[in-house]
Amino acid sequence: MSDKNEPVENEQITENENDLIKIRKEKLQKIADLGFEIYPSSYEQKEAISEIAELYSGYSEEKLKEENIKIKTAGRIIGRRIMGKTTFIDIIDGLAKIQIYFQKNKLDEKHTELLGLLDIGDFIGVSGELFKTRTGELTIVVDSFKFLSKALRPLPEKFHGLQDVEARYRQRYLDLIMNQKSREVFEIRSKTIEWLRRLLNARKFLEVETPMMQPIAGGAAARPFITHHNTLDMDLYLRIAPELYLKRLEVGCMERVYEINRNFRNEGISTKHNPEFTMLEFYQAYIDYKEMMRQTEAMLVEVVEKVHGTTEISYQGKQVNFKAPWPRITFYDSIMQYTGAKKEELQSRESIIAIAKKNEVEFDPKWSDIKILNELFEKKVEPNLFNPTFIIDYPLEISPLSKKKPEDPNLVERFELFIAGMEIANGFSELNDPVDQRHRFEMQIKEREMGDDEAHQMDEDYVTAMEYGMPPIAGEGIGIDRLVMLFTDRDSIREVILFPQLRKN
């Protein structure tokens, strides 16, 4: 913190320390006084605890005795049972736990003292033979051990673990030590992303990285974060989507590209929204949104199978069946289906308002017809879409970057994928007509002038790129955090993000 080494500061730290920390510091000093290195730099060739468990837990007591299996491993102490001349210690390496058995008559005087100076939370390296205790637990009986690092602060309680939600998010490291479930969430998160990458790579997609700091924040309807570059003396926006850059790459004949990274949206925080969130966006030339849906379906089914081992998962007490094919329902049909409205009732403003009232969906009279329809969709349709469902053919007005349907220019070739009532993906046949694109941006600018600060800005540079010629493309964004929520049965996005955004404390 300070490079001045002011004694005042040291005193303050000491004053703030409670006895538990003081005692642990004294123990560390005693360990040093005994001649042990207190922060040694390595403990090499150690075996993973999870691998030891995997390899040998099936062995019988007799077999272990015969084979004299020597083990060297290391980890953090999370439990200790002292019984006079013997001590049992549990250590973990993040994936698994193993029991270590110390016998005083096998240790020299210095190591006996060292054993007494260990605390829960400390790191040790041990070597010894494997055996099974009376109760059948795989255990290492120590013939030597090494002190590796000290925990000056005590870990949370062993039985209840760390329950305080705020502490679990702010001090995620403690959550990961104490709560195996939490650790598993991030294993599944990693696996999910790994499999998405593998499947895309197998389909000859190229992984790319496009700017996270952009002069115009485009590609989605959202308020951006603003930042400033000092040397260039210019304001930049943290990206709300990589979309317009990835499509510039399509102009550059990169036919299949994808990017997995963070987007930033300066909006409300909730159990389903973190200001920074992870999206997979991918674009493929020469296909349309229908083919994109087929590929999405195939890919997600495979990811679920790889990550979960089955296509049926349980989410918040309900079953979600990923088995293909997934239903495709048009935006308007879905509203009719769940509100009981007839087709002609969705045509005029009066009847749309009547439908909203009949379905007890609140709206602002200033809203456009489309916005009221969208509200009907979100309130009456979305919560019912539990098994994976594609909603297709959205109104033009809310889709400024997608291609019109040839047979109905008021609709676009767009789909959104809903699972467990959550929007998981959004994709469309990409608009590649630069004249139409400029016109759409102009429509958005009008929206912006009417007070919608989430409406899209004009991006001349993007239109210019398109004027050089853009092939037919379909593109899609998949919300990784929400997908992981599904796979881990979590109802809050904060449970699947290691360090979710919180107020400063």
Distance CA 35, CA 387 (A): 63
Interface pick for RNA out of 34, 46, 64, 86 (rule CB under 7 A): 86
Q: Which stretch binds RNA (CB under 7 A): 158-166, 205-213, 300-308, 338-346?
A: 158-166
Tokens of 251: 């102009």
Binders of RNA among 2-21, rule CB under 7 A? 18-20
Query: What's the min distance (Å) between Cβ of 61 and RNA?
Result: 9
Query: What's the min distance (Å) between Cβ of 224 and RNA?
Result: 11
Query: What's the min distance (Å) between Cβ of 469 and RNA?
Result: 28
Tokens of 291: 């083919």
Distance CA 294, CA 322 (A): 13
User: What one-character DSSP code corresponds to residue 329?
Assistant: E
Query: What's the min distance (Å) between Cβ of 275 and RNA?
Result: 6
Interface pick for RNA out of 162, 196, 236, 420 (rule CB under 7 A): 162
Task: Report whether 413 contacts 428 (CB < 8 A).
Answer: yes
Q: Is 494 in the site for RNA (CB under 7 A)?
A: yes
Query: What's the min distance (Å) between Cβ of 286 and RNA?
Result: 26
Q: Is 316 in the site for RNA (CB under 7 A)?
A: no
Which one, 220 or 470, has the nearer CB to RNA? 220
Q: Which stretch binds RNA (CB under 7 A): 35-43, 166-174, 193-201, 432-440?
A: 166-174
Binders of RNA among 460-479, rule CB under 7 A? 479
Query: What's the min distance (Å) between Cβ of 273 and RNA?
Result: 4
Q: Is 153 in the site for RNA (CB under 7 A)?
A: yes
Query: What's the min distance (Å) between Cβ of 489 and RNA?
Result: 14
Q: Which stretch binds RNA (CB under 7 A): 66-74, 150-158, 184-192, 331-339?
A: 150-158
Show the binding pattern over residues 207-226: x = contacts RNA (CB under 7 A), - = does not: -------------xxx----
Q: Is 277 in the site for RNA (CB under 7 A)?
A: yes
Binders of RNA among 106-145, rule CB under 7 A? 119-120, 131, 133-137, 139
Task: Report whether 145 contacts 126 (CB < 8 A).
Answer: yes
| # chain residues binding RNA, by CB under 7 A | 75
Q: Is 423 in the site for RNA (CB under 7 A)?
A: yes
Binders of RNA among 341-360, rule CB under 7 A? none
**Parallel, antiparallel or unpaired: strands 226-229 and 213-214:** unpaired
Which one, 101 or 332, has the nearer CB to RNA? 101
Is the link from the previous residue into 325 a cis peptide, with omega within 30 of 0?
Answer: yes
Q: Is 71 in the site for RNA (CB under 7 A)?
A: no
Q: Is 492 in the site for RNA (CB under 7 A)?
A: yes
Tokens of 375: 């509200």
Q: Is 156 in the site for RNA (CB under 7 A)?
A: yes
Please, which residues bridge with residue 211 across strands?
none
Which one, 467 or 491, has the nearer CB to RNA? 491
Q: Is 454 in the site for RNA (CB under 7 A)?
A: yes
Distance CA 386, CA 394 (A): 20
Interface pick for RNA out of 183, 273, 294, 308 (rule CB under 7 A): 273
Please, which residues bridge with residue 399 across strands?
none
Query: What's the min distance (Å) between Cβ of 3 and RNA?
Result: 27
Q: For residue 257, how many C-alpha atoms fall within 13 Å in the half-sphere facing its CB?
A: 19
Task: Report whether 206 contacts 440 (CB < 8 A).
Answer: no
| H helix or E strand, kind and range, residue 177 | helix 172-178
- Rounded to 5 degrees, φ, ψ at 211 are -60, 140
Query: What's the min distance (Å) between Cβ of 250 and RNA?
Result: 21
Cβ within 8 Å of residue 31, ≥6 positions away: 38, 114, 117, 147, 150
- DSSP-assigned states of every residue in 224-247: PPEEEETTTTEEEEE-S-SHHHHH
Which one, 132 or 285, has the nearer CB to RNA? 132
Query: What's the min distance (Å) between Cβ of 415 and RNA?
Result: 12
Which one, 64 or 206, has the nearer CB to RNA? 64
Query: What's the min distance (Å) between Cβ of 157 and RNA?
Result: 3
Cβ within 8 Å of residue 399, ≥6 positions away: 412, 414, 428
Within 296-364, strands assigned E span: 312-315, 318-321, 328-330
Q: Is 103 in the site for RNA (CB under 7 A)?
A: yes
CB < 8 Å & 24+ apart, contacts of 261-265: 261/209, 261/212, 262/212, 263/220, 263/239, 264/212, 264/224, 264/225, 264/238, 264/239, 264/240, 265/220, 265/222, 265/223, 265/224, 265/240
Which one, 285 or 487, has the nearer CB to RNA? 487
